[in-house]
Amino acid sequence: MTKFHNSDCTCWNCPAINLAGKVDFRACGQSALKFEKKQDETGDSHIMAECKRRPELGLFDPTSITFEECPEWRETQYGYLLKNMRIMILGMDGYLGWTLALWLGKLGCHVSGIDNFSRRSWVAERGSHTIVPISDMTERLHAAKEVLGLNINFRKINILDRELLKEFIEEVKPEAIVHYGECPSAPYSMIDFEHAAYVQKNNVIGTLGLLFTMHEVVPEASLIKLGTMGEYGTPLTGRPIFEGMFPANAVLKWNNREWSMGGELTPRDPVSFYHCSKAQDTFNVYEACKYWWLRSYDVMQGVIYGVYTDHLAADPRLRTRYDIDEAFGTVINRYVAQAVIGFPLTLYGKGEQIRGFIGLEDAMQCITRLIAKPPEPGQYDVVNQMSGYCSMRKLAETVKKIGEKDFGLKIEIQRVENPRVEADRHPFEPIFNKLPDEFGFVQSDMLEKEIHRMFALLTRPEIKKRIEEKEHVILPKTWWSGEKKEVERLELIKNNNHAVKKNGKAVNIN
Ligand code: USQ
């Protein structure tokens, strides 16, 4: 029999369990160890469980049944998943949210979601549009039913509207909540005070409201919260970028003395007011897990790219959005679009900034695997969700190589002034072992293959035309300094070949 990454999890992790008995919510934290020790003289656990799905079991020891043994957990290619698991996606109309809705629906989950369509308005406000046309939500839901046989339960709700959110969560009783419902743009948050305040309110207060709502209504559900690698910044000491917390054997040496740093949150050094909102979320989620035994994985995601999953490609009405403007287009997506219309690829500054990245399909796999292995009561944990990392320059060269070789395009690369305040030459040693080691993540989205797919879609005449219509939104205009001007070209550069790094080792992506 296959051994899944979550085979040995027990009801202690399961969101279908109500804890009963002597539950001391003040004694929370990373609680498995404490739980094991909490036995009275008869050997009985102080904490007992009742199963909402199998009430006939009565009260039992929550560590006595594993996912592998429980008939409510069924096998899928990503581990055991609860039958008809109720999953709510916040931000379901977005690039990731819509992709995940179809993905989880096809895995047999009961998907519900909210959105207030703000991503569509932000992009319109910046004078742009998604270059891959997308349907409105009514048509999306209709197509999901017609083409994929999915019944997705959607409600238009602004995440800041706590009453409506609470009502919907009470109705659905989700067993996992995936929180994509934030404004994801660093440049958007740097336009002016109004935009900075809007992003921080939407993200920080939205998440805080969600935490209170979960505490009141579904404290046993797991929260998969989207953070960002950008919370950490790029430490100039070159110290490794750990997964949110220092590992157990990390030591601080100072003044001839030593302290263990194990388990402490690592320093954050966010790189925009948007990234600050994510860092604030980190602390709020961490505290909520501590105070109320909520359970959460905070996902520090690298720069996302790509356009493909089987479900998105099944019908044009099911496609997800693809942005190319400076605020909402991420760098690889922008490069491919630029290449298609002969716009020299825009490296900011020296182009030596290094970032982690992950393909769309792999991001879906990671989230599914996290859902399948819910955190324990009170557990806050962090994963760095990326499949490789490299400099912006190497990425541009990769895009150029594929576009020229496979699509016959003539592609140039330019360096433009960097409107952001960021180190453009820096050490970078991210650790991203937990997803592969503890959750069974296996990279399936190879960078070159996905870039190839992106070119195949974007070179279609109707899409190329939509990129050309928005050529004027490509060059960045938002300066971290507050200046209002267009960036200037610094150099049109010559090509050379580089390698992408994966797990710290150089990997040739040719
Ligand atoms: N960059 C260029 N040329 C471009 C666009 C960007 O050189 O045309 C550079 C930027 O200076 C930056 C890097 O590419 O150093 C990444 O920029 P980006 O716009 O792709 O991504 P970023 O602003 O960092 O934010 C995006 C998502 C955000 C997510 C983050 C992951 O919008 O939601 O949190 O990627 S990370 O960058 O790892 O923090």
Q: Token digits for 62? A: 């929550």
**Does residue 211 lie in a domain region?**
yes
Please identify, by atom number, the ligand 1 atom nearest to the C-alpha of residue 335.
Answer: 8
Name the closest-CA residue to atom 26, ligand 1. 303
CATH number (domain holding residue 299) = 3.40.50.720
Do 51 and 115 lie in one domain? The reply is no
Please identify, by atom number, the ligand 1 atom nearest to the C-alpha of residue 185.
Answer: 32
Do 66 and 185 lie in one domain? The reply is no
State the distance from the centre of ligand 1 to the C-alpha of 112, rounded, in angstroms: 29
Domain range spanning residue 176?
84-507
Cα angle value 501/502/506 (rounded, 5°): 40
State the distance from the centre of ligand 1 to the C-alpha of 330, rounded, in angstroms: 6
CB proximity list for 95: less than 8 A, separation 6 or greater: 119, 304, 320, 321, 322, 323, 360
CA dihedral 325, 328, 329, 331 (to 10 degrees): 120
Could you give the CA distance from residue 30 to residue 212 in angstroms, rounded to a whole number?
20
Sheet with 345-348, strands from edge to edge, namely 345-348, 413-416, 489-493
Do 19 and 133 lie in one domain? The reply is no
Please identify, by atom number, the ligand 1 atom nearest to the C-alpha of residue 420.
Answer: 11
Instruction: Give the residue numbers annotated as catalytic, written as ranges.
Output: 228, 274, 278
Question: Read out DSSP for 156-201?
Answer: E--TT-HHHHHHHHHHH--SEEEE--S---HHHHTS-HHHHHHHHI
Say if ligand 1 is within 6 A of residue 268 CB.
no
**Does residue 119 lie in a domain region?**
yes
State the distance from the centre of ligand 1 to the C-alpha of 303, rounded, in angstroms: 6
- Cα 395 to chain centroid, rounded: 21
| Contact (CB, 8 A) for 355 and 392 | yes
Residue in the structure block whose two tokens are 């110290």: 239
Per-residue pLDDT of the chain (510 residues; tens, 9 = 90+): 679 999 999 999 999 999 877 665 544 444 444 444 455 555 555 789 999 999 999 999 999 999 999 999 999 999 999 999 999 999 999 999 999 999 999 999 999 999 999 999 999 999 999 999 999 999 999 999 999 999 999 999 999 999 999 999 999 999 999 999 999 999 999 999 999 999 999 999 999 999 999 999 999 999 999 999 999 999 999 999 999 999 999 999 999 999 999 999 999 999 999 999 999 999 999 999 999 999 999 999 999 999 999 999 999 999 999 999 999 999 999 999 999 999 999 999 999 999 999 999 999 999 999 999 999 999 999 999 999 999 999 999 999 999 999 999 999 999 999 999 999 899 999 999 999 999 999 999 899 999 999 999 999 999 999 999 999 999 999 999 999 999 999 999 875 544 445 544 434 342
Say if ligand 1 is within 6 A of residue 180 CB.
no
Please identify, by atom number, the ligand 1 atom nearest to the C-alpha of residue 333.
Answer: 20
Say if ligand 1 is within 6 A of residue 334 CB.
yes
Residue ending a domain, choose from 45, 73, 101: 73
The residue to mutate among 331, 338, 389, 487, having the most atoms of ligand 1 within 8 angstroms of its beta carbon, is 331
Do 442 and 481 lie in one domain? The reply is yes
Residue ending a domain, choose from 43, 73, 103: 73
State the distance from the centre of ligand 1 to the C-alpha of 43, rounded, in angstroms: 54
Say if ligand 1 is within 6 A of residue 234 CB.
no
